[in-house]
Amino acid sequence: MILETLKSWSLDFIHLFYPNNCLTCYNPLVRQEKIICLHCETSLPITGYHYLIENPVKDQFLGRIPIQFATAIYQFTKSSKIQIIMHALKYEGNQPVGIKLGNLIADRLSPLPMYDSIDYIVPVPLHKNKLYKRGYNQAELIAKGMSDVWHKKMRKDLVIRIKANPSQITQTRYSRWDNVEGIFQCQIKCKSQTHILLVDDVVTTGSTLEACAKALIDSGYTVSLCAAATALR
């Protein structure tokens, strides 16, 4: 007890001179807060799509692939807190924020019975060249954070990216679909009814998620989709 108290006082003393600041508002974090302060956590823009069977994210895939559910938890806008989080995750090497984001997403989805049937959480994979360059897969970190909260297994062995397609940032909507044709390959055929939650960081046109989901569906899996954020409204 005394040791824990001294440790807590020591951390408070260190943070007095070297504050551990919130990633999005830059205010010092208080005890029990990690990476993002509680105020910023509760003020992140929620889409509300996870409460709706039919929503703008799922509409992206209508008539294209048979998915159970599709959602994105946060609304992405320029210069927003979500953009700060996503930029830190993808381009600044801030891996812990990916885990934190996954924790927050799982907390949002946990009360919803439609997600009880999920068997495995599967992150959209990076090509080995991009994985080597970046050092980590941001979707995998989000999936890991969700797995930690849900206690559902994350699977990285079911699907791989076999083609290193160019960046989609400057691609038009239609060229993005061509850009992802046949880039994923399912490694393990489904032998019994298995429901996969396919996880990515951001969904825009949905082309990458669709290509990955199609590889799983063609191998017999039931698939639902979840992105951390979207610019769709």
d(CA 8, CA 19): 14
39-82 pLDDT tens trace: 999 999 999 999 999 999 999 999 999 999 999 999 999 989 99
CATH classification code of 44-164+181-230: 3.40.50
Rounded mean pLDDT of 138-165? 95
- The predicted pLDDT at position 191 comes to 87
Q: State whether residue 192 is helix, strand or coil.
A: coil
Q: What is the pLDDT of residues 9-23, one digit of tens each?
A: 544 544 444 458 999
Which residue from 158, 209, 157 is spatially nearest to 183, judged by alpha carbons?
209
Burial of 16-34, coded b for 16+ CB within 10 Å and e otherwise, reads eeeeeebbbeeeebeeebe
Nearest of 87, 66, 107, 92 to residue 224 by alpha carbon: 66
Given this model, what pLDDT does residue 233 score? 83
Domain boundaries, the chain: 1-43, 44-164+181-230
Neighbours of 161 (CB within 10 A): 23
Q: Under DSSP, is residue 197 helix (H, G, I), strand (E, B) or coil? A: strand
